[in-house]
Amino acid sequence: MASTGHEPPRLLVAPLTRLPCEPDVVRLPLERAFGVRVEIAPLAVELKAAYSLQRNQLNSTTILKMLLSERPDGVDRVLGLVDQDLFIPILTYVFGEAQLRGVVAVASTFRLREPWEAGGTTRAVLEARLIKTALHELAHTYGLRHCMRPRCVMTVASSLEMLDEKAPSFCLQCQGELHDALVGLAP
């Protein structure tokens, strides 16, 4: 169900596993980018149903279906956060996935913690990567597609190097598309 009146839409950021950083790190960037009120609370999702024994990973599409079925009343969108490796059948791994023009997205911190040597990356780098991944995936729920501008947060990131090169913001064209999508949702 969508929000009513003049209150901002509600976005639930739902940690589904223990995370290597506080989920609150995404609150302000998401509120600013999407004009939402971010709430952070766990959601009862049984991740075992998404686990692939053959791949030792979680199927992110299955998680999206679970998030959709467990979305609380009055919550406009849900971003699930996990610290387990995600995949879709055609790719070795993904940092996240979202329903295009939908209401659910998932992001993983698992690969964002690389490099694995010496205990992983710094907290600041991990948090920056999570913010960019969260912005990217949630923008898909508003209808944005991948962008060709390398610094835009909507560009494809198939590696950490590509993710690190992105800015935590939208290019002018993607800003315009997001604005149009948000205006289209206004009551």
Annotated catalytic residues are: 137
Q: Are strands 51-52 and 77-82 parallel, antiparallel or unpaired?
A: unpaired
Contacts within 8 Å (CB) and 24+ apart, 113-116: 113/20, 114/160
Burial 32-41 (b: 16+ CB within 10 A, else e): ebbebbbebe
Size of the chain in residues: 187
Burial 5-23 (b: 16+ CB within 10 A, else e): eeeebbbbbbbbbebebeb
CA-based nearest residue to 134, from 89, 82, 73, 58: 82
> By three-state DSSP, how is residue 56 classified?
coil
Residue showing tokens 């149903």: 49
